[in-house]
Homo-oligomer: A and B are copies of this chain.
Amino acid sequence: MNIVITGGAGFLGRRLAETLLARGVLGGTDGRPQTITRLTLVDVVSSTGLDDPRVRQITGDIAERKLLEQAIDAQTTSIFHLAAVVSGQAEADFDLGMRVNLDASRHLLDVCRLLGHRPRVVFTSSVAVYGGALPATVPDDLALTPQTSYGTQKAIAELLLNDYTRRGFVDGRALRLPTISVRPGRPNAAASSFASGIIREPLNGEPAICPVSPETRMWLLSPRTAIECFIAAHDIDGARLGSNRMINLPGLSISVRDMVAALERVAGKDVAARVRWEPDPRIAPMVATWPGELAASRARELGFPRDSDFDDIIRRYIEESGVLQAR
């Protein structure tokens, strides 16, 4: 089986690739585990250090249909569609967001449709599909009122995925991801970038600016649990999902103040003191429109993996990144 990961050079794409290569198997279209013979990563750049004969890397503009036709071939049974322009960037460059978050998703679904064998498509959507005046806990059946172009484009791609699934063109699953924390590496253009930065930078001995108020409630998911959710979503029987393929993944609801308090508990007062509170008028209003907590009832019923608490997420990040040993 050929598995395709778009955004394969990104943090989550790369981590998913490594996890799949280590597992060696993934559920086939009949539900039984199949041996992974090829893993195709599609991105604007190639991922370095992935020396595995099963890996094929294709680089280019994902909004070009030809690139997707090259990546998604007759042997492709599973696609993880992670490629996206992040929230801050899609807000700053409307046309780029439409191209990558909407046009590329539609091309991908159309290329899958032409295969004729109904591949499984796991699409990473976002809680940014919600927005505006929200209840304290967002139920699964609340109307989508995105307040960003990013959230709009994700909501549209979800609707397409659902209809392509209903028509039997693909077997889709759209996962609304909480904010991923703690991401390793450097800050990015996502408005949510600080949700990793305020943990990662202090652990690296660097100052970090928190651009939102301490009371801001975040809905978080660790990278490890996110990858587990992608695979769980892929392997679940489509019949259990029925005609609605949108799934709010279960996250942790925690205020930014409590995130920093957790950092203090795990890494000490000096580390936590490196966080400076400076509300940013470009970021705070955007983050304020995202939900701080979702019921995620359906995902819980379906038994999706969950994080236990944020202290544990920080401890795992320290362990995986080796950050404290390195200093």
Q: Which residues of A contact B (CB under 8 A)?
A: 94, 132, 140-147, 149, 152, 155-156, 159-160, 162-163, 166-167, 243-244
Contacts and interface: CB of A to CB of B under 8 A. Distances in A.
A263 B162 CA distance: 39
Among A144, A156, A244: residue with most chain B CB under 10 A: A156
Contacts of A147: 166, 243
A167 B94 contact: yes
A251 to B, nearest CB: 18
Nearest to A145: B244
Given A141-B143, A143-B141, A144-B143, A132 B244 contact: yes
A180 B238 CA distance: 36
Given A132-B243, A243-B132, A244-B132, A144 B163 contact: no
A160 B152 contact: yes
A297 to B, nearest CB: 13
13 contacts: A132-B243, A141-B143, A142-B143, A143-B143, A143-B144, A145-B162, A145-B244, A146-B159, A147-B166, A147-B243, A152-B159, A152-B160, A152-B162
Contacts of A166: 147
A185 to B, nearest CB: 30
A174 to B, nearest CB: 12
A134 B276 CA distance: 48
Among A94, A141, A166: residue with most chain B CB under 10 A: A141
A201 B127 CA distance: 49
Nearest to A242: B132
A19 to B, nearest CB: 31
Contact of A167 (B149, B156, B167, B243): B149
